[in-house]
Each structure stands twice: as C-alpha cells, then as structure tokens.
C-alpha cells in the first residue's frame, strides 16, 4: 500500500535527515565519494546548508542534514544531478543497511 507524502508549504526550508550505516571497511570510500557531492551542492540555488555528523560511539554511522528551500527541486532536479551519479551508484556497496531518510521543518533555532 502506498502512503501519500504530504507536501509541506514551501515558505519554510526543509531538512532531509539521512542516516547511513556504513560498512566498517568502506568508511574512507564513503567519505571520499560524499565530499565532492557536498562541495557541489553548496552552489545550488535552493540549497541552504548541510552538516555531516558521525556517531561518537559508532564511527561507521553517519547522519547527514541537508536543508533546501524547495522540495520539488530536490526530488526532481537535485537528486538527478550528474555530480551525484557515482555516489548513488556506490551506495549499495558502501552501506550495511538501507539509508534512513526523514524530512523535517524547523520549529525553533536559538
């Protein structure tokens, strides 16, 4: 059964929180492939910011926070950018389990 995805109003940026469980022997390759993607993203019009975190207790578990102003642009344009091709093609070999993706909107920042 397919669950419809609610479309948030585009007045607020959305943050895509992506959790990666990387195979322990693939961490260096994971970071090497992700780095150029993050470097390229910062030049996109709808990009706001990105932050990559690592779990201090599990150095092979990463969480990426990508904030964008336009969900339609992310889903229909950004995910298909040529600079993402090598990254997307390698994910199955890099990850111990499928990545988890959640979408969040900001309520408060201090």
pTM as predicted: 0.85
- Give the DSSP letter string of 13-26: -EEEEEEEEB-GGG
pLDDT at 9: 46
Other beta carbons within 10 angstroms of residue 22's beta carbon come to 24
pLDDT at 4: 52
Query: What residue segments make up the domains of the chain, in order of their start?
Result: 14-105
Encode the chain (110 residues) as per-residue pLDDT tens digits. Answer: 454 555 544 568 999 999 999 999 999 999 999 999 999 999 999 999 999 999 999 999 999 999 999 999 999 999 999 999 999 999 999 999 999 999 999 998 89
pLDDT at 66: 97
CATH architecture of 14-105: 2-Layer Sandwich (3.30)
């Amino acid at each position: 059964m397919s669950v419809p995805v609610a479309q948030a109003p585009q007045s607020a940026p959305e943050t895509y929180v992506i959790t990666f469980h990387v195979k322990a022997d693939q961490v260096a390759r994971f970071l090497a492939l992700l780095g150029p993607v993050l470097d390229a993203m910062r030049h996109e019009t709808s990009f706001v910011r990105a932050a990559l975190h690592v779990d201090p207790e599990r150095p092979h578990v990463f969480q990426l926070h990508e904030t964008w102003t336009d969900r339609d642009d992310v889903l229909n344009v950004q995910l298909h950018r040529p600079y993402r091709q090598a990254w997307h093609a390698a994910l199955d070999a890099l990850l111990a389990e499928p990545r988890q993706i959640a979408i969040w909107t900001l309520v408060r920042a201090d």
